[in-house]
Structure formats: structure tokens, C-alpha cells
Amino acid sequence: MSPIVHATVTAVGGILAGLALAAALLWRQQQALQVARYQASHDDVTGLPNRRLLLTRLRAALSEGAPCGVVLLDLDRFKTVNDTFGHDTGNLLLHHVGRLLAGLDAPVEIVARLSGDEFALLVRGDRDEVAAVARAACQVIGGAPLRSRTHEIGVRASVGYTHTRVPAPPRQLLAEADAAMYQAKRDRTGVHGHHPLAPSGGRSRDRH
């Protein structure tokens, strides 16, 4: 091989190696960006969307002017599960409940874990459809205990829901569903819907 050809081959090889390295670095950066975006919008225990993503999707739904609702729930006596069986089992229960809720059919648009044992569902549809989803969520959680080799953990949920046909602040809808959920917990009815003309029953605890 002549010196000129050898130099040309060497130069081309160096360029190709440089391009391959640059492509590999770009791919790694893209992967890291995708992971960061996922972690910023999803819960690390259940894999469900988090509060941030729920609010984003809720704002989008409200901006379209289509009827929609929010279903909010938490698990009764979840602290007892943590205290009795440990936090690892508590996390397994949260993952179990998240999977049950994610399996609900349309018109559920998104299921999110907000914090602790609190979950929220964005529902597209009229008030009857939102109420039906709330009842279905309560039933599916109560009807599917977490089973392991050593024990079976039954769990129940208190569920509140609200509905709107006009644009409203997302946090207002969450507050309405929260108040309804507290009413369901206080009355032990399982499910309670927010009614605009009904007096507020207060809140069970401060929420983020």
C-alpha cells in the first residue's frame, strides 16, 4: 500500500471512529434525558404518573372545555400495615393498588400516585361516568387483597370525586375531591361525591 493510500485510509478510519464515538455519546445523553424526564413525572414506588404529570394532564383537559372529573382516594389504615409488616410490605401494597387502579377501563385517562397512600384519577366524561369510576376504584381495591407466602393483607379505600363541565382551576378540583374523600372516610360510606351546594365537611389532614 502506497503511503498516500495508507494515510487516506488512516484518516478515514479516524473520522469514522470519531463519528462513532460522538454518536455513542449522543445516544447516552438522550437516554439520560429520557430517564430524567421519566423520573420527574413518575412515582418511583408504583411507576405511576406523579402529581406534576397529573396536573399537566388535568390542565390540558380543562383547557379543552370537555367535561371531566377527578377521583381521589387513600387507603384506610395504611399506617397500620406499615407499622405491622414494615415499609417494604407497605410499598408492595402501594404498588399492588397502583396496578389495580391502572387496570381500570376508559373513561379513565390517567392514574397517579400523589403522595403517601393517596392516588388520583383523571376521568373524561359526565358526572355519572366519574361516579362509576369512583365506585369501581373502591370495589377493585376492596376485592383484591395483597397476598404473600406468609399473610394476606386486605385493604379498603375512602374515595371522593368531583366533576365539572366548565374550566376550573385544577387545584380547586383536587380540593373538592379531597373534601369529598374526607366525607367518605368520616361517614364510612366508601365513596362520596362533591356537590357544589353542600357545606364543606373540612379536611382530614393538611395535604401538599
How far are the Cα atoms of 40, 83, 136, 169 from residue 71, in angstroms, in the given order? 23, 27, 11, 15
At 69-120, the pLDDT tens digits run: 999 999 999 999 999 999 999 999 999 999 999 999 889 999 999 999 999 9
| Residue 204 confidence class, pLDDT cut points 50, 70, 90 | very low
What pLDDT was estimated at residue 10?
A: 65
The DSSP line for 73-113 is EEETTHHHHHHHH-HHHHHHHHHHHHHHHHTPPTTEEEEEE
Q: Which of 43, 74, 76, 117 is catalytic?
A: 117
Beta-bridged to residue 157, according to DSSP, are 75
What pLDDT was estimated at residue 117?
A: 96
Quick one: which H or E segment has residue 191?
A: strand 191-193
What pLDDT was estimated at residue 208?
A: 40
d(CA 74, CA 159): 7
Closest CA to 164 of 59, 73, 74, 54: 59
117 belongs to the catalytic site: yes
pTM of the model: 0.80
Cell 407466602 -> residue: 149
